Amino acid sequence: MYRFAPVTELHDQCLRAMTDDGGFRVMTVRTTQTVRDVLQTQNVKGETARWLADLVTGTLLVRETMSPANRVQGLLHGIARSGVLVADCHPDGGSRGLVQRRGDGDPLVGGGAVLEMMRTLHRGVHKGMVKVPDGATLSTAFMAYMQESEQVATVMAMTTLFDGDRVRASGGYLVQLLPELSEPMLAIMTERLKEFAPIEALLRDESTTPHSLMAELLYGMPFTQLADSPLQFQCRCDQVRIMASLATLPRDEVQAMVDDAKPLEITCDYCRRDYVIEPEQLRGLLAPS
């Protein structure tokens, strides 16, 4: 039967499990606080907030199942080059999000938007893209990506519940067919999930956790938990990375900033943290290596 540790408190986490017959890999996640922090730092509301929230959750699920030891980014390209929503998820469980606007408003997302997934591997970056169909949810787009780009039969569901502009709950699950079993087995699981309570209804129940969601998904099916990973909002910016980025600029541009003799103020687009780079620090970039 299934084996996992009891829950002592609600926190963002991802559970990874596999049925004992080797047929299915299952992930369940709670991303409530992570999503809250992403939306707060990006100062987004309404439909943009919903799409960005689900993009973060979906990207986390893809990373956990396809590249748990690698960085995975999900990019939702808006319609008519209106901007991009970005989810950036790392192996330590830290994630962040970004809204890149091209114009006065938020990116236009929905049918016609393009979902792009980028996985950082040792041999380079693996990319895959799918178009979001009209009327489709981001869950549908993620499943299309898994089938078309990864050739892995997958059922996914994720959502975010709001009380006004505040995130009440966010999470989801992924059920994946493993190579040991055939496509008909996924059809059986798919039919079972049709009778499964919608993810929205499950998240409205405050007692729902990744553990209880896993137990419901695999009810009557012996399984073993493989991992329990904490999740949180985490930006990767720091003074060293800022200086490394400035070091890639042409020498004449750095010299112009030094000649200006004023501190350079830089704000991280992901977390809105402000950095001040003094002229002496910039001058150090001009020193012979």
State pLDDT tens for residues 200-250: 999 999 889 999 999 999 988 889 999 999 999 999 999 999 999 999 999
Mean predicted confidence (pLDDT) in 186-203:
83
User: Residue 244 corresponds to which amino acid?
Assistant: A
Mean predicted confidence (pLDDT) in 7-25:
83
- Quick check: is 289 in a domain? no
What CATH number has the domain bearing residue 21?
Answer: 3.55.30.10
Specify whether 257 is located in the same domain as 121.
no
- Quick check: is 134 in a domain? yes
- Quick check: is 260 in a domain? yes
- Quick check: is 257 in a domain? yes
Q: Is the pLDDT of residue 6 over 50?
A: no
What CATH number has the domain bearing residue 247?
Answer: 3.90.1280.10
Specify whether 27 is located in the same domain as 106.
yes
Specify whether 188 is located in the same domain as 89.
yes
Cβ–Cβ < 8 Å for 79, 108: yes
Cβ–Cβ < 8 Å for 76, 85: yes
Mean predicted confidence (pLDDT) in 78-97:
96
The whole-angstrom separation of Cα 148 and Cα 78 is 21
Top mean-pLDDT range of 32-41, 198-207, 254-263 = 32-41
Specify whether 207 is located in the same domain as 262.
no
Contacts for 142 with CB less than 8 Å, ≥ 6 apart: 58, 61, 62, 115, 154, 156, 158
Specify whether 168 is located in the same domain as 271.
no
- Quick check: is 88 in a domain? yes
The pLDDT of residue 184 is 73
Specify whether 191 is located in the same domain as 256.
no
- Quick check: is 6 in a domain? no
Q: State the total domains in the chain.
A: 2
The pLDDT of residue 136 is 87
- Quick check: is 7 in a domain? no
Specify whether 45 is located in the same domain as 164.
yes
Q: What is the pTM of this model?
A: 0.89
Cβ–Cβ < 8 Å for 250, 215: no
The pLDDT of residue 289 is 59
Specify whether 262 is located in the same domain as 162.
no
Residue span of the structural domain in which 260 resides: 239-284
Specify whether 170 is located in the same domain as 269.
no
Specify whether 86 is located in the same domain as 180.
yes
Specify whether 272 is located in the same domain as 207.
no
Side-chain-side CA neighbours of 198 within 13 Å: the count stands at 7
Radius of gyration of the chain (CA): 21
Specify whether 264 is located in the same domain as 222.
no
- Quick check: is 2 in a domain? no
